[in-house]
Every structure is written in structure tokens, then in C-alpha cells.
């Protein structure tokens, strides 16, 4: 893939992506899309997914299982990389946004 990152995922991206998963899990109807901190700046969790999509580094097993058990259907994760997990979480976010829009 041409857009893959040649370097390992930066630690701050790992922390932000972990936070994005946590924020997704507690996101309730009527609330805007959650934000997490990346380098002391707020970013939407979908934006953090965009940042992480290019990294092929493997996620920790525990975090991978948490994401797999998250409510919703984001498609399939092709592997245990941050990139695959970020695409999966982005799908979950889109589905949740549609679900919440139907509740309004």
C-alpha cells in the first residue's frame, strides 16, 4: 500500500487511539462525537482514526479484543494492526452517527 507509514506508530498516536476506543465505548445518544487529546490538542475520534490508518504496527491483544467486543458493526478487521483497527473503529463511528441521527 502506497500510503502505509514506513515508521512505527508514534506513542502519542497509540495513546490517542486507545482513548478513541474508550471514548467510543461511552458515547451516548444526544452527545456530539467525542474528542480525545493528541499532543495536548483536542481531535474528534474519527480524526484520530484517520491518523492511525496508515500504521501497520500490531495492537496490544487486550485492546484488540476490547475493540472487537465494542457495540456495532464496523466491518471486519483484516489483521491486528493499528491501521486495520482504525478502519474498523471508523466504521463503528459512522454506524453510531447514523443510529443517533435516527433517534433525533
Query: Quick check: 50 and 94 in contact, CB under 8 A?
Result: no
Q: What is the pLDDT of residue 72?
A: 83
Segment 28-40 mean pLDDT: 94
User: In Å, what is the CA distance from 22 to each residue of 2, 66, 75, 103, 104?
Assistant: 30, 9, 19, 22, 24
Q: For residue 31, name the pLDDT band (cuts at 50, 70, 90).
A: very high
Q: Please, which contacts does 23-30 make with residues 24 or more away whose CB atoms are closer than 8 Å?
A: 24/70, 24/89, 24/92, 24/93, 24/96, 25/66, 25/70, 27/96, 29/99, 29/100, 29/103, 30/100, 30/103
Instruction: Dump pLDDT digits (tens) for 46-94.
Output: 999 999 999 999 999 999 999 998 988 767 888 999 999 999 999 999 9
Percent of the chain with pLDDT over 90: 73
Sequence-ordered alpha helix ranges (H) in the chain? 11-26, 45-52, 61-68, 82-103
Q: What is the pLDDT of residue 1?
A: 46
Q: What is the mean pLDDT of the chain?
A: 90
Sequence-ordered alpha helix ranges (H) in 40-79? 45-52, 61-68
pLDDT value at 100 more than 90:
no
Domain ranges of the chain: 11-103
Amino acid at each position: 500500500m502506497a500510503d502505509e507509514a514506513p515508521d512505527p506508530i508514534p506513542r502519542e498516536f497509540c495513546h490517542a487511539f486507545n482513548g478513541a476506543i474508550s471514548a467510543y465505548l461511552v458515547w451516548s445518544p444526544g452527545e456530539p462525537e467525542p474528542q480525545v487529546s493528541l499532543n495536548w490538542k483536542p481531535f474528534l475520534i474519527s480524526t484520530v482514526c484517520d491518523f492511525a490508518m496508515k500504521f501497520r504496527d500490531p495492537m496490544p491483544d487486550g485492546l484488540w479484543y476490547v475493540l472487537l467486543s465494542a457495540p456495532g458493526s464496523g466491518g471486519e478487521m483484516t489483521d491486528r494492526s493499528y491501521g486495520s483497527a482504525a478502519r474498523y473503529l471508523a466504521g463503528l463511528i459512522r454506524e453510531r452517527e447514523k443510529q443517533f441521527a435516527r433517534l433525533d
